[in-house]
Structure 1
Amino acid sequence: MSQGRKVIVLTGANSGLGYETLKLLIQHSTPYHFILAVRNIPATEKAVLALTIPPQHKIEISKLDLSSFTSIKSFAQGLLTRDSTLPLNILILNAATIKSTFNSFISRIIFVNSSLHKQSEEHKNFESLDVKNLNDSKGYDGLLFYRHSKLVQMLFFNQLNKLLEREEKEKVSLIAIEPGFMPQTDLSRESAIYIKLLMKYILPLAPFARTPEQGGTVIVYASTSPELEKQSGLYINKCCKVDKASEDSYKEDLQKTWWNISCDLTGLLEKKLL
Structure 2
Amino acid sequence: MQHTIVMTGASRGIGRIAAERILRQSPDVHLLVVARGSSGAPLAAELREGGHAVSHVEADLGSLESVRSAATEIRDRLERGDLPPLRGFVGDAGMQYTNALTEGPDGLESTFTVNVLANHVFVRLLEDRFVSPARIVITVSDTHFGDFRHNLGMVPGPAWRSPDALARTGAFPKPDTATGGRTAYSTSKLAAVYLVHEYARHLPAGIDAVAYNPGFVPGTDLARNAGPVSRFAMRRILPAMTLTPFATTRSAAGGYLADLVLGTPQAQTGSYVDRGRVALSSEESYDPQRERELWDADERFTAAHGA
Coarse TM-score class (shorter-chain normalised): 0.7 to 0.9
Instruction: Tell me, yes or no, if the aligned pair for 1:26 and 1:53 is still in contact at 8 Å.
Output: no
- The aligned amino acid for 1:237 is D
Give the whole-Å Cα distance in 2 for the aligned partners of 1:269 and 1:69. 7
SS of residue in 2 equivalent to 1:187: coil
Instruction: Tell me, yes or no, if the aligned pair for 1:11 and 1:37 is still in contact at 8 Å.
Output: yes
User: Equivalent residue for 2:271?
Assistant: 234
> Is residue 2:214 matched to residue 1:218?
no
Q: 1:220 Cα shift? A: 1.0
Which consecutive unaligned segments of at least 5 residues does structure 2 have? Answer: 94-114, 151-155
Going from structure 1 to structure 2, the CA distance change for 1:93 and 1:270 (only over 3 Å counts) comes to: closer
Give the whole-Å Cα distance in 2 for the aligned partners of 1:269 and 1:260. 15
Instruction: Tell me, yes or no, if the aligned pair for 2:157 and 2:186 is still in contact at 8 Å.
Output: no
Give the whole-Å Cα distance in 1 for the aligned partners of 2:72 and 2:197. 24
1:1-274 matches, cutoff 5 A: 4-41=1-38, 43-50=39-46, 53-55=49-51, 57-84=52-79, 85=81, 86-95=84-93, 96=115, 97=119, 98-100=122-124, 101-103=127-129, 105-106=131-132, 107-119=134-146, 126=157, 128-131=159-162, 132=165, 134-137=168-171, 138-140=173-175, 141-164=180-203, 168-170=204-206, 172-206=207-241, 207=244, 208-225=246-263, 228=266, 231-238=268-275, 240-267=276-303
Instruction: Tell me, yes or no, if the aligned pair for 1:129 and 1:148 is still in contact at 8 Å.
Output: yes
Give the whole-Å Cα distance in 2 for the aligned partners of 1:200 and 1:27. 27
The root-mean-square deviation of aligned C-alpha atoms, in Å, is 2.6
Q: 1:146 Cα shift? A: 0.7
Give the whole-Å Cα distance in 2 for the aligned partners of 1:198 and 1:144. 20
More helix by share: 2
- The aligned amino acid for 2:23 is I
Larger CA deviation: 62-71 vs 209-218: 209-218
Give the whole-Å Cα distance in 1 for the aligned partners of 2:201 and 2:280. 16
Give the whole-Å Cα distance in 2 for the aligned partners of 1:185 and 1:148. 20
- The aligned amino acid for 1:169 is A
Which consecutive unaligned segments of at least 5 residues does structure 1 have? Answer: none
Q: 1:270 Cα shift? A: 10
Q: What per-residue deviation string (whole Å, max 9, x for no partner) do you get for residues 12-58 of structure 1?
A: 211112111112122215321111101143x3444455557332x21
Instruction: Tell me, yes or no, if the aligned pair for 2:214 and 2:253 is still in contact at 8 Å.
Output: yes
TM score, norm. by length of structure 1: 0.85
Give the whole-Å Cα distance in 2 for the aligned partners of 1:253 and 1:33. 38
Give the whole-Å Cα distance in 2 for the aligned partners of 1:194 and 1:117. 24
Q: 1:104 Cα shift? A: 6.2
Give the whole-Å Cα distance in 2 for the aligned partners of 1:46 and 1:80. 23
Instruction: Tell me, yes or no, if the aligned pair for 1:37 and 1:62 is still in contact at 8 Å.
Output: yes
- The aligned amino acid for 1:7 is T
TM score, norm. by length of structure 2: 0.76
- The aligned amino acid for 2:287 is K
Q: 1:223 Cα shift? A: 0.8
- The aligned amino acid for 2:142 is S
Q: 1:198 Cα shift? A: 0.9
Q: How many residues align?
A: 259
Give the whole-Å Cα distance in 2 for the aligned partners of 1:269 and 1:222. 30
- The aligned amino acid for 2:183 is L
Going from structure 1 to structure 2, the CA distance change for 1:218 and 1:182 (only over 3 Å counts) comes to: same
> Identity rate of aligned residues, in percent?
23
Instruction: Tell me, yes or no, if the aligned pair for 2:35 and 2:57 is still in contact at 8 Å.
Output: yes
Going from structure 1 to structure 2, the CA distance change for 1:7 and 1:104 (only over 3 Å counts) comes to: closer
Structure 1 segments (4+ residues) deviating >4 Å: 47-52, 120-123, 268-271
SS of residue in 2 equivalent to 1:34: strand
